[in-house]
């Protein structure tokens, strides 16, 4: 008799529940903390319930990397193609991705630390870097920059933002917002209008009320 498919929730937990626990463990303790038995204790479940949702720990690791890509690369690429009436506004869309928490900075930091321990994860982060830089470069080319200039500007934008994350830099929000017009001018050669900055600040502050952006 064919075995029924496991329920998505109940006494075994759920696939997303196990993945969320792995996410939290990775951020709190690094990849060495992502082990089945400690995750089971965190969830208050039996170790065997894990296998209803994942074939082994490697399957969980693959799901975790997919989650990282969905929470970092996807929103950044999306922000680079978001509608904008001016180049300054397009750049502000990208910066908002980092400042509103759309780009998961704690997960990015944890995965980059993981990449130092495992070559295959290092390869995934390098591939993500390539995709993200390409998205920023293409955005700048659409706004009229020559290819080489767009490439250098894209690297300046990206390495600045990843530097904030990798260094775990801490600025109060008012300080970070005060620097945004200058960042935009350096990154694009264009000065944002007061109206554009007011809209950007309102967007960031609205997100900070519920979920302050890191870095």
152-195 per-position pLDDT tens digit: 999 999 999 999 999 998 889 999 999 999 999 999 999 999 99
Report residue 98's pLDDT band, with 50, 70 and 90 as the boundaries.
very high
Handedness of CA 139, 160, 119, 117 (dihedral sign): negative
* Rounded CA separation 27/47 (Å): 21
Asked if 22 and 59 count as a contact pair (C-beta separation under 8 A), the reply is no
15-67 maps to CATH 1.10.10.60: yes
Could you give the percent of the chain with pLDDT greater than 90?
89
What mean pLDDT is predicted for residues 139-149? 98
Distances, alpha carbon 214 to alpha carbons 54, 100, 103, in Å: 31, 9, 10
**Other Cβ atoms within 10 Å of 163 Cβ, number:** 11
Rg (CA), the chain: 20
Domain map of the chain by residue range? 15-67, 72-210
**CA 52 from chain center: how many Å?**
28
What mean pLDDT is predicted for residues 66-95? 98
How many Cα atoms are found within 13 Å in the side-chain-facing hemisphere of 68?
A: 28
Asked if 43 and 18 count as a contact pair (C-beta separation under 8 A), the reply is yes
Residue 213 reports pLDDT greater than 70: no
Residue 4 reports pLDDT greater than 50: no
What pTM value is reported for the model? Answer: 0.89
10-20 per-position pLDDT tens digit: 567 899 999 99
Q: Report the chain's mean pLDDT, rounded to a whole number.
A: 92
Structure tokens at 168: 């775990």
Q: How many residues are recorded in the chain?
A: 215
What mean pLDDT is predicted for residues 82-97? 98
SS3 call for 63: helix
Structure tokens at 41: 């204790």
């Amino acid at each position: 008799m064919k075995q029924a498919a496991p329920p998505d929730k109940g006494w075994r937990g759920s696939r997303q529940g196990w993945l969320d626990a792995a996410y939290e463990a990775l951020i709190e303790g690094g990849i060495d903390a992502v082990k089945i038995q400690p995750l089971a204790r965190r969830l208050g479940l039996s170790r065997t319930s894990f296998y209803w949702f994942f074939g082994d720990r490697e399957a969980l690791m693959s799901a975790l990397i997919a989650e990282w890509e969905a929470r970092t690369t996807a929103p950044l690429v999306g922000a680079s193609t978001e509608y904008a009436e001016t180049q300054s506004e397009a750049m502000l869309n990208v910066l908002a991705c980092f400042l509103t928490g759309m780009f998961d900075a704690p997960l990015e930091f944890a995965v980059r630390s993981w990449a130092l321990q495992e070559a295959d994860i290092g390869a995934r982060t390098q591939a993500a870097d390539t995709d993200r830089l390409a998205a920023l470069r293409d955005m700048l080319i659409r706004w009229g920059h020559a290819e080489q200039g767009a490439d250098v500007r894209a690297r300046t934008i990206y390495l600045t933002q990843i530097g904030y994350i990798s260094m775990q830099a801490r600025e109060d929000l008012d300080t970070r917002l005060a620097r945004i017009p200058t960042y935009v001018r350096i990154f694009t050669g264009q000065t944002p209008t007061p109206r554009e900055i007011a809209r950007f600040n309102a967007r960031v502050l609205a997100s900070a009320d519920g979920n302050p952006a890191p870095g």
